[in-house]
Structure 1
Amino acid sequence: MCSQLIDGNNEPTESASHIRLCHGCELPINLILLERGKSAYCPRCGTHLYRGGSPSLSGNLALAIACLLLYFPSHFFPFISIRLFGVMIPATLPSGIYTLFDEGFIFLSLLIFFCSSIAPFLLCVSVVTAHIGLKSKQFKVLKYSLYTIRHFKTWVMIDVFLVSIAISCFKLQDHSDIYLGTGLYGFIMLQCMTLLLVTRVGIHSYWEKYKPERDYHFKKRELHCLHCHLSQPYSDVCARCKKPIFRRKPYSIKTTWAYIVAASIAIFPANLIPISILITNGRRIEDTIFSGVASLVKSGMWGIALIIFVASIAVPVIKILGLSYLLISIQLKRNLLRRQRMVIYFIIKWIGRWSMMDLFVICIMMAVIDRGQILDFSPGFGAVAFGFVVLLTMFATESLDPRLIWDEGSMKSETDRREEISNG
């Protein structure tokens, strides 16, 4: 591991300015200098702590500007076109979103629009404004830009959209000829730039550039701010970013349970009610998620069927069961297999976004197949329920505080801590 532990009594072996609390388990870590290309991970929970070398913030800015330049050609040029009844029908992302909205599926259209367009755009704009705030020493501009980056990185799903385009092409090949458009190459280039940006950009490096952690001379470091990653003594407000700071996320367990219960209810109509309706030659074909997978298997598309099954059926169930297991273990104060539970948490956090694939496929199909009674495609109300499942499970993952996994049963409540602070 590229990090060093301090002693077991939480007393630093060096100056307290070299100590940072892990944001995954709050283990005090003695910081060391790493070479560029190497990363430090918490030896207890495996959380990524920081990268070695001096990060090039100008590289982040260059990537963000490149993404913004690619944003418009990728969105407004056709990414695929089909020849249907002798007519070329182009498909753009906005046309699919607008068709969904026009058909009355407002929630689905807004969810798809946010994940495929708004979140990537705001992420890139926030990187630019963060540089402006950093150079001009505008604290509020920097603060809100970094806040946006932290919360929107999870919702950038251009890679999921690209896979959805490939799946849509396999589904459409039985009905028409398919032609790749200029927008597809724009999306591929945009995904490459976005992937580099998401893996490079870290809010901690911006806050360190604004005011390094070594400038804060604290005798103790007992709290870790999740917004700017400053480890500090107990307080109501973070000393660096001025955001409210808590020992643990308030009401984390109750909020996560509420999202899980809601998602568990929504998952039944999502799987039992048709998710898509295809009318071809006067014949109406209604498909649930499972029947759609079965039809792909019958057509010999085993690979596509497996991808849809994993993303749309297995992943939501795994997230619900996995989060329930973590919550139950936390509430029962289980001390065994904590590292394994952190691995489960990391997996759940990574796989959740891929459930959006089926909804992206529906959006693409709506963009190219809407031709009346001869050939027509529309989403079923099962798609709406599935959208709620995706949204609720992602909210549940974000609301769970993984540090609770490492808490001992005797840990004082947040209220007790604040009373101690107020009493001096």
Structure 2
Amino acid sequence: MGEQLLQQAQLHSGPMKILAMSGPLPQPRYQRCSECDYLFSIPDLKKTQTAHCPRCNAKVEKGRVCSLPRLIIIAISILLLMPFAYTEPLISIRLLGTRIDASLWEGIWQMSSQGSPLTASMVAFCTIGAPLTLAGSILYLHFGSRWGMNLKPVLLMLDRLKDWVMLDIYLVGMAVASIKVKEYADIDVGVALVAYLMMTVLVIITQINLNIEQLWEEFYPQPRPKGPPSSLKLCLSCKFTGHADAEGRCPRCHVPMSARYKHSLQKTWAALLAAIMFLIPANLLPISIVYANGQRLEDTIFSGVVSLATSGNIPIAAIVFIASVLVPFTKVIVMLTLLLSIHFKAIQGLKTRIRLLRLVTWIGRWSMLDLFVISLMMSLVNRDQLLSFTMGPAAFFFGTAVILTILAVEWLDSRLIWDAHATGNAEYTD
């Protein structure tokens, strides 16, 4: 244990100057890694530095990136762009002599009005609800701190919201939908596309510069815990390393502290098995139905990819195949491998498995691409009997499977992967 505590977090930064130090060294600040539960000391970070776990290389903290006043300006800009970007036309087509405009909100409304409000709500949450919550939460932090309101629930939510903001994926879906519609009509750029692009860039900038740990320290600073470092625990909610209070709660966020996520394996298995069950009809049933000149043309996910490839749009077909076929099945295989390795207490390939978990965490959200394409297509091609587009029954199953796989990844406590190593390593204790 002594050797472990001498290690410091790995610092990543630009060129640094080494300065001589005088006076007593500051009290070390200890931190447990949220991905492998490793305990190490972490120095005070400069603005350009990030701290990484010395065992699994997870990013545990980053330097001050952007002050709250700047984030507030960005959040206000996002809110001002939203009405225009959501309700005005993003792309337009000329079909049968009629100009048809497609907006994000119109596509969601068409999905809901055609009998799939649950599928429409999935698209609405990822493209409207989550970005709106992100911008609104930043404003809440500013005004709530002035009015003495409780900011803890908002800070806890912001840390989990980033995976659900999918404006960038919707932008790719817009390109895919445009290529599909190009077979039937001429396409023009809508007047709101610039506003949508600006909003997407601002949201990405906000996510990059949003330092949750910095906000916790600003609003709820905590003294450095005393006592033996080996007794320090990690709060699973706000990532604070310290001692529980008299009621067993985290002193910073007041969430009960526990060694591991409760029922992590059970919830992950349940979500993963349910996702597998939904993926079967999602890939066998038609996901889109086109009526052209009195003919009914049905496409499954895979046949849609083949149709794009045979029409000469191989790059777009590759994107759709990766997002809608390869990614969901890869996530299922990886998650099954991780869960079985935990159950059988495998100690080989720990770093490889943690990298796989990070990979499926990052790529999982891209599977929503197909639903976004369907939403836009329903807004564009839903006119009279000559040409119309409707959503197939597979859309609901596919969207549900994507959300379940995202939840399965989120519910898996990655520290369980390292527990087999910890029990066989005398240097590591909890």
Which residues of 2 match residues 122-271 of structure 1 at below 5 A? Answer: 122-138=133-149, 140=150, 142-217=151-226, 219-220=228-229, 221-233=231-243, 236-271=248-283
* AA in 2 matched with 1:115: C
| Match for residue 319 of structure 1 among 310, 316, 331 | 331
> How far apart, in 1, do the equivalents of 2:109 and 2:251 lie?
45
Deviations 1:6-63 (A, max 9, x none): 8435589987751111111121121113332221111211211111247522222222
> How far apart, in 2, do the equivalents of 1:24 and 1:271 lie?
33
SS at match of 1:89: strand
> How far apart, in 1, do the equivalents of 2:287 and 2:156 lie?
35
* AA in 1 matched with 2:303: S
Aligned 8 A contact 1:278 1:285 in 2: yes
Aligned residues: 405
Aligned 8 A contact 1:213 1:230 in 2: no
> How far apart, in 2, do the equivalents of 1:12 and 1:87 lie?
68
> How far apart, in 1, do the equivalents of 2:382 and 2:185 lie?
13
SS at match of 2:92: strand
**Contiguous gaps of at least 5 residues in structure 2:** 9-24, 424-430
Aligned 8 A contact 2:225 2:243 in 1: no
Aligned 8 A contact 1:16 1:217 in 2: no
SS at match of 1:63: helix
Aligned 8 A contact 1:16 1:219 in 2: no
> How far apart, in 1, do the equivalents of 2:364 and 2:270 lie?
17
SS at match of 2:183: coil
The alignment status of 1:349 with 2:358, answered yes or no, reads no
Which residues of 2 match residues 26-45 of structure 1 at below 5 A? Answer: 26-45=37-56
> How far apart, in 1, do the equivalents of 2:68 and 2:2 lie?
34
> How far apart, in 2, do the equivalents of 1:17 and 1:56 lie?
25
SS at match of 2:35: coil
SS at match of 2:296: strand
SS at match of 1:408: helix
The corresponding residue for 1:309 is 321
The corresponding residue for 2:84 is 73
Aligned 8 A contact 1:18 1:214 in 2: no
> How far apart, in 2, do the equivalents of 1:63 and 1:34 lie?
25
The alignment status of 1:88 with 2:99, answered yes or no, reads yes
* AA in 2 matched with 1:228: C
Aligned 8 A contact 1:293 1:305 in 2: yes
Aligned 8 A contact 1:17 1:213 in 2: no
* AA in 2 matched with 1:112: V
Aligned 8 A contact 2:65 2:211 in 1: no
Q: Percent identity?
A: 36
> How far apart, in 1, do the equivalents of 2:203 and 2:333 lie?
31
> How far apart, in 2, do the equivalents of 1:145 and 1:25 lie?
26
